[in-house]
Amino acid sequence: MNWIIDANPCPGVFYGTPAQDGFLLRIRTPGGQLTLSQGRAIARWMEAWGCDRLQVTNRGNLQLRSLGQAPSPEIFTELKTLGLASPIPQVDQLRNIMASPTAGIDPQELLDTRPWVQALDEFIQQQRQLEALPAKFSIGIDGGGSVAIGTRSPLSWEHRYNEIQLSVVASDGANDSENDGANEDSSVMVHLALGAGKQLHDTGRLIPPDKVVEAVAALTQAYLDYLRHAEPLPKPGRKRRMTHLLADWGLEQYLDQATHYQPQAFLRGKPPSLTPSAGAAHLGVHRQRQPGFAYIGVDLPLGQLTLAQVQGLLELVAQVGSGPLRLTPWQSLIVANIPETQVESVLQQLQELGLSGDVSPLAIAACTGKPGCSAATTATQTDARRLLAELPQQIGVETLETPINIHLTACPKSCAQPSPAEITLLGTADETYHLYLGDGQDSWTYDLGSVAVGDLSLVLGRVLTRYQQHRRASEESFTAWVRRSQQAGVRLQEWQR
C-alpha cells in the first residue's frame, strides 16, 4: 500500500485506517465548506474506487469506507492542490476546524467566522511542530448566530466540544485589563473556553477579534510546552490531551503560559451570557442575511450520501450558483445562496434525489459498528437504518415537534456522538443492545435493561408513544419528561414492557 505516513488512532487521509471491510479514509473540510471543484474531485475518485457512498461525520468531515487500496500519488497531490490535504502530512491528523455552518449567511450572526477558519487552517497546515499535538486537538468557532457550535443549543445532544472553543460575543466594554488600550472600540469580542472531559470550561478570558490567530498560536505553543515536559502516557501511540493538561497544570497556569507568548491577546473579562440558539436550527428553509436569498438545511440519515446523490447535489449547486456545499457537525448539509424564487424548485430537486429539507423527527446517530470497526459488537449502521424505517410506523412522528435523539454505539467509546444522548443503545457481546435514557448531562443515567435486536423498534415505539401521551405539553422535551417521571417515582424499566 502507498500510504504516506503511519496510522494514527484517529482516521486521516494520508494513512488508511484498517477496518473489517477495507480501509477508511477521512478527508478534512475546514469549517465544513466543500467547494464545487473539491466535491467533483471526490465524486470522481469515488467512481474510480468503486465507492458507492460517503458519510458526513460529526465534525463536518467526509469519510469514505471499504476502500481496497491507497489513493495513487497523483490523487494525494490533487488532494493537496484542492486544499483537502495538508502540505505537511504529519499535521493532517489534527482535527478539522469546526465552525458555524451558516457563517456569512446567518442574519443573526455577530461576525462571519470564515476568514478565521481559513487563517487558522493555514496556520496549522504550515507548522510541522504541531504534529506533537494529540489527534483530538480541536478548534471550534461560533459566530454567535442562530446555529451554535458549542453548548448554546437547548438540546444537549447537539452540543459540540472542542479543546479550544472560540465564541463571538457582543462586547459590553467591561473587560479589564492588564492590556490597556487594546481594541477598546470593538463591538464584539471572542470568548475563550477549553473543552475537556466532554464539557467546556470558561477561562474568564476574552480575545480581541484581531488577535484570534495569535491567541490560538499562543495556546498551541503553551500546549506543546506542557507536552514536552509531561510524562508520556503508558499506552503506545496515545498522547496527552487537554483534559490531562488541565488536570496537571490547571487552567490559570496554562493561560499564564499562553499569555506569556501573546500578552495582548488575552483580556480578563466577566463570562458572557451566551445567547441560546434554537434546537435543530440548521435544518429546513431559512432566510439569509443577503436579501432575496435563502438556504436549505438538508437532513442526511446517518450522515450518508450515495455517489448518485453527491453527483446530483453538485449539479444542483452548479445550476443554482449557490457556492460551496456546507457540511454540518450534525451529519447534515446546507445548500446556500438560493434565490428565494427558486426555493420550491430546489426542494423538488432535493426530493428527486431522495433528500429532504424537512426537520426529521428522529435524530439517529450510529457509530461504524460491524463490519467496519474491529471493536464493534453489533452492526449499528444496519440496525439504525432499520430503526429509521420502522420506528415512524410505530409512533405518530408528526406530533414530535423536536427531533428525538437516538444514539447506537457498538462499544462504550461512543465515536458517533460525543454529547449526552437522549436515548442510547449500547451493543453488547451477544448481539443485543442495552437501553439507556439520559438526563441531559449524561447518556447513561437510567438503565432500562437489554433489548433484542429484533425488538428495538417495538420497545422504542412503546417508550416514545408513552412520551407523546404523558408529556405536559409539546414543549416538554423527551429528557425533561424522563427526569420528571423518574422524580415522580415511575419505574422506568417498566417502559420496556
For the bound state, the minimum distance from the C-beta of residue 369 to ligand SF4, rounded and expressed in Å, comes to 6
- Beta strand 53-56 pairing with 62-67: antiparallel
Q: Is the dihedral of CA 385, 390, 392, 395 positive or negative?
A: negative
Residue among 270, 248, 58, 302 at smallest CA distance from 161: 58
Sole window of 145-153, 334-342, 403-411, 462-470 interacting with ligand SF4 (rule: CB under 6 A): 403-411
Radius of gyration of the chain (CA): 23
For the bound state, the minimum distance from the C-beta of residue 408 to ligand SF4, rounded and expressed in Å, comes to 9
Site membership for ligand SF4, residue 260 (CB under 6 A): no
Cβ nearer to ligand SF4, comparing 259 with 443: 443
DSSP secondary structure code for residue 71 in this structure:
P
Site membership for ligand SF4, residue 426 (CB under 6 A): no
- Beta strand 199-207 pairing with 33-34: unpaired
Cβ nearer to ligand SF4, comparing 414 with 445: 414
Cell numbers for 162: 472542542
Site membership for ligand SF4, residue 367 (CB under 6 A): yes
Contact (CB, 8 A) for 145 and 102: yes
Cell numbers for 198: 466532554
Cβ nearer to ligand SF4, comparing 414 with 477: 414
Cell numbers for 475: 414543549
Contact (CB, 8 A) for 200 and 164: no
H or E element that contains 386: helix 380-394
Binding residue for ligand SF4, selected from 12, 104, 361, 369, defined by CB under 6 A = 369
Site membership for ligand SF4, residue 375 (CB under 6 A): yes
Please work out the total of residues on this chain that contact ligand SF4, with binding judged by CB under 6 A: 12
- Strand residue runs (E) in 262-361: 267-268, 284-287, 293-298, 304-306, 325-327, 333-339
Site membership for ligand SF4, residue 207 (CB under 6 A): no
Sole window of 132-140, 190-198, 344-352, 364-372 interacting with ligand SF4 (rule: CB under 6 A): 364-372
DSSP secondary structure code for residue 220 in this structure:
H
- The set of residues, in sequence order, having a beta carbon less than 8 Å from that of 332 and lying 6+ positions away, is 56, 282, 283, 297, 298, 299, 300, 303
Binding residue for ligand SF4, selected from 164, 192, 335, 376, defined by CB under 6 A = 376
Binding residue for ligand SF4, selected from 322, 360, 409, 457, defined by CB under 6 A = 409
Site membership for ligand SF4, residue 414 (CB under 6 A): yes
> Is the peptide bond preceding residue 371 cis, with omega within 30 degrees of 0?
yes
Q: How far apart are CA 419 and CA 399, in angstroms?
A: 25
Binding residue for ligand SF4, selected from 169, 320, 373, 451, defined by CB under 6 A = 373
Sole window of 6-14, 143-151, 242-250, 369-377 interacting with ligand SF4 (rule: CB under 6 A): 369-377
Binding residue for ligand SF4, selected from 151, 322, 331, 368, defined by CB under 6 A = 368
Cβ nearer to ligand SF4, comparing 61 with 86: 61
Sole window of 158-166, 206-214, 243-251, 410-418 interacting with ligand SF4 (rule: CB under 6 A): 410-418
Sole window of 27-35, 45-53, 274-282, 411-419 interacting with ligand SF4 (rule: CB under 6 A): 411-419
Contact (CB, 8 A) for 118 and 82: no
Cβ nearer to ligand SF4, comparing 211 with 370: 370
Cβ nearer to ligand SF4, comparing 366 with 460: 366
Site membership for ligand SF4, residue 419 (CB under 6 A): no
Cβ nearer to ligand SF4, comparing 23 with 254: 23
Q: How far apart are CA 29 and CA 92, in angstroms?
A: 11
Contact (CB, 8 A) for 413 and 375: yes
For the bound state, the minimum distance from the C-beta of residue 204 to ligand SF4, rounded and expressed in Å, comes to 34
Q: How far apart are CA 351 and CA 251, in angstroms?
A: 49
Contact (CB, 8 A) for 138 and 189: no
Binding site for ligand SF4 (CB under 6 A): 367-369, 373, 375-376, 409-411, 413-415
